[in-house]
Structure 1
């Protein structure tokens, strides 16, 4: 199972910026996988993020972590132990003022530092919206590249959690995908979260990094303990069973392309398994980076399958799935065998007791797969 889970990480980049997998032979590839797994240990998602923050602070004396309650670990314990190890001058609490947190981070990053700002819940990122969209995103552009705040990373838990209601369950990623000048990244697993977060912190652009709170403790896998990064703006394409060393696809699907990100990927994986039992071959793509997103990978897949389904937790109207749909229709119109399908949240505030009806679950996705394939 460890090897099987490890195979899902297709576009892997080590600390030296190179993929560690050889394309020569399956035996040498298996050897490398065993070595990588042996050097890691089983972690859940919040522990992997904590490990990434430890590495970021340890490897760069200019790095700082700050936000509401971060000095004692934060609500989800992602910053546990950081203040004790690196001191309260580098890991510290802020006032309950999201606009101030991001504004301070912009100034800190503009002085050449690595500022990792935590917004306690993505639902409360909106008071900082002006700072992110009008300041951070435009900082480099307005000066003609004379100055920038590229060292700013804004971390925030997003999405459903099972009991969060309308103020602790939202998925606001589409708002920020409308702002050129920032990157928007969403991991789906512990190994991916660690590698992507380190890439974001070291990226020369400001990044909004949304963490799926539903998976903080639920998602567990083998995570290498060393320092490594995963490439931004490249999708990860996979289906569940087999992995061929040196390829970008774990198992090819021929009937329909599925695209998602974050916590929704685990739901889509189960739908793919059930669709396979009915003879439908699904290709599943995790975008990882939403801004800028990997259009080429999605386009190549849709040109092969002729069908596309997008799923996300955010409301369907104006969700990022609409941008993917429009772009792929423009690029692949003559290759599409059916209308692009979207399985998303409803156009209502996020409900509490009615959360199971709101969420795009496995059965909704499976029905949309069959409807699209049989169109």
Structure 2
């Protein structure tokens, strides 16, 4: 076992993971545990998108009716109480949540029985979220350690219509017919998908030694395309593990959306970066720094005429740089540090051309030399093939010549200077 993994294991043990957390749940449920702290910290987040079929099959367009959806998320913080945020941002009608629970995961769709809590909203077991709105649950007393997985289970008694969701979760979500929110086993959950629905945040309170959150903001490379399903091996996951192993644990939130554009909204790939930067970065609890990795799709989509690669106007390097400058100014106005990340090599990918390569080179040179970021991580350099700097290192290539594999995402996390955060 390597030194970093040993340190991570020790950090998790000290945080009260596993049996220690389970032993305290009965006290928390009975009210004898300390009252949750008023301050909330980010534990997990995912940016929401319009219902669509952009990648693999999902349930967003049809929505749900008399069905229960159980979703599994791994938090990068810890605490003694949790609450969730649900979004109906892209719903055309009010959304009725007939019941909701939260629990520690026992693997698959099963939960640890002693940790199961019914969630309330304003002390009521059901809630209606208006079209375009969101809501937060009340605090639920459930202990969770960093890097533990929670299940959030939602029951929809009435037809929801198309569902606000996050398309590329790289994690399995489960569906059952009828109301199974209180089930401890996963037997009823016979259908699966790789997306998250309505769930945008899990927030925690009651933890100790909190530091400011880090937000990873970008497109599919941040979202984790090419990583192992249910493996939590995206580069933001790896970065959170590095921080914990170094003795400086901090929540790391993944605000990547596959296919996302810096300058244009997409019906498949989310609102443009500038439109979602406030809610997906600046408004997160305790955010102190953001790592920006954007622009690949802006310079690439225009080179290929595919139905989902829309809008795809020709975008100049100068326009991408102007988009970055806007985000930097907005972050600095809120006291948030900005780490600029260079765009990875993508020679051999479907939209690599001499024109898109020239734009990448110009943007990366500006990121490295402009001095406008608080720090820079040169992903392009560390991920390049030793024999061809325009191509992704084959050892890190998931197979499409633009997205890393698990080893590549680990290398990206290793390239980040932790002091820069």
- TM-score bracket relative to the smaller structure: 0.3 to 0.5
TM-score by length of 2: 0.31
TM-score by length of 1: 0.34
Select the structure that is richer in strand: 2
Select the structure that is richer in helix: 1
